[in-house]
């Protein structure tokens, strides 16, 4: 059976990582969370007091930072220069700054280079914003996951409550909408559905239903 590449793109909190992880598990593929890479850089930059609008300084940090994504039974672990930053990259501070970091052309160029290296042998499920359009333009399966802002904020809110993290629904809605706007309006590789991507609106679908739909598409192409 051929090992293909699967690109999962879409706006913030649309369920991309949950679905991508499940697909990777079912297919014994590697899951690559590209958002975690931008988050890891953002975390390291904030730690060093680097301004997220300063492209040159961010590039210095990036060149100093070895980012690793390691599969684990609980999902995926993220390391920056050997430090486990899995939890640290999900804080509000990182979430609300990452889209500024991800706007810079040279940052994206270096990240895309690293992501292509990780995906070069196929057998990958990669999620992000520009995977189908830029990182893996030849991916055999491209999915664009959508859901209303209301629904995405609701899911994130419930997730936070379950984890015992303080959470404000209205604030989440605003933050998600703002991140989508920055990601969609940036000059380089904005959030956009690839022409050959299959769009799935997950607003009224369960995770299982989304995974099933994508697995059916995958089976037609391996």
Give the interface segment with ligand C5P, choosing from 50-58, 61-69, 94-102, 150-158 (CB under 6 A): 94-102
**Given strand 30-33, what is the order of strands in its sheet?**
30-33, 124-128, 5-9, 141-146, 198-201
Residue 83 host element (H or E): strand 83-84
DSSP for 187-204? SSS-S---TTPEEEE-TT
130 is a contact residue toward ligand C5P (CB under 6 A): yes
* Three-state SS letters, 169-186: HHHHHHHHHHHHHHHHHC
- Residue 82 CB, shortest distance to ligand C5P, in Å, is 21
* Residue in 39, 104, 152, 157 binding ligand C5P, rule: CB under 6 A: 39
Binding mask 17-36 for ligand C5P (x = CB under 6 A): -----------------xx-
* Residue in 179, 194, 210, 218 binding ligand C5P, rule: CB under 6 A: 179
- Residue 135 CB, shortest distance to ligand C5P, in Å, is 7
* Residue in 6, 7, 8, 12 binding ligand C5P, rule: CB under 6 A: 12
* Residue in 18, 99, 133, 202 binding ligand C5P, rule: CB under 6 A: 99
| 143 φ/ψ angles, rounded to the nearest 5 degrees | -120, 140
6 is a contact residue toward ligand C5P (CB under 6 A): no
104 is a contact residue toward ligand C5P (CB under 6 A): no
In terms of C-beta density within 10 A (0-12 exposed, 13-18 middle, 19 or more buried), how is residue 188 classed?
A: middle
175 is a contact residue toward ligand C5P (CB under 6 A): no
Q: How far apart are the first and last CA of the chain?
A: 6
- Residue 84 CB, shortest distance to ligand C5P, in Å, is 17
CA neighbours within 13 Å on the CB side: how many for 186?
A: 21
CA neighbours within 13 Å on the CB side: how many for 123?
A: 9
* Residue in 7, 20, 156, 183 binding ligand C5P, rule: CB under 6 A: 183
98 is a contact residue toward ligand C5P (CB under 6 A): yes
Enumerate binding residues for ligand C5P (CB under 6 A). Answer: 12, 34-35, 38-39, 98-99, 102, 128-131, 179, 183
């Amino acid at each position: 059976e051929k090992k293909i590449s699967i690109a999962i793109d879409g706006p913030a909190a649309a369920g991309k990582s949950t679905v991508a992880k499940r697909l990777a598990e079912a297919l014994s593929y590697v899951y690559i969370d590209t958002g975690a890479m931008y988050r890891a850089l953002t975390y390291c930059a904030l730690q060093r007091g680097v301004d997220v609008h300063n492209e040159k300084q961010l590039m210095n940090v990036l060149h100093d930072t070895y980012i690793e994504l390691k599969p684990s039974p609980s999902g995926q672990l993220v390391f920056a220069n050997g430090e486990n930053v899995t939890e640290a990259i999900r804080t509000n501070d990182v979430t609300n700054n990452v889209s500024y970091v991800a706007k810079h052309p040279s940052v994206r160029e270096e990240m895309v280079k690293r992501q292509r290296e990780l995906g070069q042998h196929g057998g990958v499920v990669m999620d992000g914003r520009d995977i189908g359009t830029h990182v893996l333009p030849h991916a055999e399966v491209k999915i664009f996951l959508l859901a209303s802002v209301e629904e995405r904020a609701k899911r994130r809110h419930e997730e936070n409550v379950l984890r015992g993290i303080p959470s404000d629904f209205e604030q989440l809605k605003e933050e998600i909408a703002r991140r989508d706007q920055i990601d969609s309006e940036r000059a380089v590789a904005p959030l956009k559905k690839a022409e050959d991507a299959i769009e799935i609106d997950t607003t009224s679908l369960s995770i299982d239903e989304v995974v099933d739909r994508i697995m059916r598409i995958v089976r037609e192409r391996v």
